[in-house]
Structure 1
């Protein structure tokens, strides 16, 4: 069975070498696995919680999108989109807000951390806490549940948010599912084996420590200068060096083949100087990063190409999100106000039949067969996809007339050309009732 895997990409800061090894490279590799349907999104709504600088938000979205594309993300295979291009996400956030207990949000790690800081400083517990910070786990739950993701790769510190998404999805299913599981309950895929690169000073590579090696920033010169600043011990050329635990060696091994690692370690033990070792590392990194950097520079020079990719991804994502949200709206009672004809106690006459919605079947010039359901004013409620056989189209019309909304999940419907799902369900119910 195909499983959906969803990955959110925070749009703050500029990616460095550690981000590439720990997150970007393994995620792209995982997206190529068979049986996986991958969704990658730029979490730019989430970025607004942490940053109120519009220029930084804009620049970071561009740089991060360009980085993932340059690193080899296949946008024909995966769905790559911006969170802010999916209007169904904030709408689902509100639906989930209405079933989420405040006490659940009180226990969120980020909120508790903020109140702990305020308590230690003698401030009001909620000083400086925005509703964005307080309720962002609900937005994260909407990101996941909207696409019914089965797996969400996260670090251990994010597992709580996946559990919260499960709680909200389960509550929604119980209240509004009427026996159906509207939401798949996601599971966290904990990234225990995430590669962590040391920075220039030997600590974990992090912008917080100002010890990062740029992935693309500064070009080949910036990369070489950063590698030159990696801290090593004071052993001179000719003296044996222990490769175990050396930051330079750890970075090297993250990009080297097993044969290259073995040779590098042996040469260090034989007295290879740190200066030459650093040059070898630069050569190794350049061999892999230079082609990606070239693509990155080209993309950054043409942001309209990135925009086109993201709009294409948003359209793919909305083909999933739009009909599903229509189903969720109907589930909570946000349905079109239609006069639904009731079955009369006596045989219906011509006038009564004329008031019912009507199926129409037709064939286009390309030879494909279509059907659609229209209301009494001729407005299209359901529009089918093209089918190669007229009998197949007729079979679907028969099923929809008799099974009503129960047949919609499998029916070949073009939802982009159809009306709201709730209106179509009401019309099908009317047709089914008239046949009883």
Structure 2
């Protein structure tokens, strides 16, 4: 079985455009083919309900996005590809996590704080138009991740907080009920490609400047013809720097093709000719996928079958795991009473690591015993991954304490730490 699980959530709002393809879809599909990785991709339709209250739009977007990912090369036989709302265990886990998540943690969520700040600036009630769905969004996202004990979650820097919150909820649950969850790590996408839109600004639905990924061929040609350029005439040298047309071409072309167009710019290629070159290059890559996409859109039952098969694969993991969690919290068959010692042992807390981020931007962890006494406080790390590696080193060998240059907390000894780490290993 693959050693690493990677989970990717796909929003189901709007029609995918070229920027989505270059920045997210294409690299994610390439990553799904990596050996030694078990990949999970889900359509986050529960999340879409937070922003969209048009049922037909939710349904249409789910259809378009599922068709897009399959047409772009996602192999449902190789990965687990499912619709979030087809996994009833997700809302149940959301409730379990809600019961161990402090309200203060949710108060600090960026999306909620941004809404409150906007209301305060407008002299409105701080929670005006803020739904409980928006407030609880981080808990649902944590349930998405923790249900499958994902080791890594690819996110941009603006999403790191959600992974940190998922880790916090997992650690809180583990502390109360025993070690059930892996603490996920953010797989930070430092080099996410962004494309300019028709007007030169970042391609975004918000700017109404997008080129739909699977626009019909003639529409694609017309949209590319409308890309903003300067007024230089044919024969005049043109700059590639700041040229939206060139930047889009570069995202689809080979290195040799890019060099050739750069030279054509220097030689004074006409804008109409450059746009034709761009159209032909994009259409060369997109046309085979467009054909598959259009076939899937004509036969939504094929996508429904794929998603249901993916849900069955996902539930083969989620159903027994949820049964284990239900037992851990005490939701048990009354006919199968545990002996007093077993019931008491099931509730015994274990030592635990708690990882968090401070206002200085650094990542820290602390190690506490079963009673919550601080045994070890780390120094700051540049990333959650670095902090996680230090934690794993300690979990594997208490002797790593010296190599990590960490000292016991006041009132604790190395023997206390070694004993607590051994308890964790014994319980694993």
Equivalent residues in 2 for 1:252-291 (5 A)? 252-291=249-288
Aligned equivalents of 2:263, 2:137: Cα separation in 1: 50
Question: 1:341 deviation in Å?
Answer: 9.1
- Assess if the C-alpha contact under 8 Å between 1:214 and 1:222 holds in 2: no
Question: 1:268 deviation in Å?
Answer: 1.2
Unaligned 5+ segments in structure 1 are 344-436
Aligned equivalents of 2:127, 2:97: Cα separation in 1: 23
Equivalent residues in 2 for 1:382-421 (5 A)? none
Give CA-to-partner distance per residue, 1:247-292, whole Å, 9 cap, x none. Answer: 1000001000011111111111111111100001100011110110
Aligned equivalents of 1:48, 1:76: Cα separation in 2: 29
Question: 1:234 deviation in Å?
Answer: 1.1
> Against the structure 1 CA distance between its residues 293 and 341, is the aligned structure 2 distance closer, same or farther, given a 3 Å change threshold?
closer
Give CA-to-partner distance per residue, 1:327-346, whole Å, 9 cap, x none. Answer: 11111111111255979xxx
1:144 is aligned to: 145
> Against the structure 1 CA distance between its residues 338 and 253, is the aligned structure 2 distance closer, same or farther, given a 3 Å change threshold?
same
Aligned equivalents of 2:314, 2:109: Cα separation in 1: 28
Aligned equivalents of 2:42, 2:261: Cα separation in 1: 38
Aligned equivalents of 1:54, 1:93: Cα separation in 2: 23
Give CA-to-partner distance per residue, 1:265-320, whole Å, 9 cap, x none. Answer: 11111111111000011000111101100000000000000000000000000011
User: Is it true that 1:198 corresponds to 2:193 in the alignment?
Assistant: no
2:58 is aligned to: 57
> Against the structure 1 CA distance between its residues 171 and 268, is the aligned structure 2 distance closer, same or farther, given a 3 Å change threshold?
same
1:33 is aligned to: 34
1:90 is aligned to: 91
Aligned equivalents of 1:235, 1:119: Cα separation in 2: 48
Give CA-to-partner distance per residue, 1:117-168, whole Å, 9 cap, x none. Answer: 1111111111111110001100000000000000000111111010000000
Aligned equivalents of 1:234, 1:292: Cα separation in 2: 35
- Assess if the C-alpha contact under 8 Å between 1:96 and 1:172 holds in 2: yes
Question: 1:244 deviation in Å?
Answer: 2.2
1:15 is aligned to: 16
User: Is it true that 1:171 corresponds to 2:168 in the alignment?
Assistant: no
2:226 is aligned to: 229
- Give 2:210's match in structure 1, choosing from 203, 209, 212: 212
Q: CA RMSD in A?
A: 1.2
Give CA-to-partner distance per residue, 1:185-219, whole Å, 9 cap, x none. Answer: 000111110000000111100010011111113x0
Question: 1:238 deviation in Å?
Answer: 0.9
SS at match of 1:80: strand
User: Is it true that 1:308 corresponds to 2:305 in the alignment?
Assistant: yes
Question: 1:11 deviation in Å?
Answer: 0.4
2:74 is aligned to: 73
The alignment covers a number of residue pairs equal to 339
Aligned equivalents of 2:271, 2:85: Cα separation in 1: 47
Q: Which stretch shows the higher mean deviation, 207-216 or 308-317? A: 207-216
- Give 2:317's match in structure 1, choosing from 317, 320, 323: 320
- Assess if the C-alpha contact under 8 Å between 1:214 and 1:226 holds in 2: no
Aligned equivalents of 1:22, 1:314: Cα separation in 2: 26
Give CA-to-partner distance per residue, 1:340-372, whole Å, 9 cap, x none. Answer: 5979xxxxxxxxxxxxxxxxxxxxxxxxxxxxx
1:135 is aligned to: 136
Aligned equivalents of 2:336, 2:12: Cα separation in 1: 47
Give CA-to-partner distance per residue, 1:404-434, whole Å, 9 cap, x none. Answer: xxxxxxxxxxxxxxxxxxxxxxxxxxxxxxx
SS at match of 1:307: helix
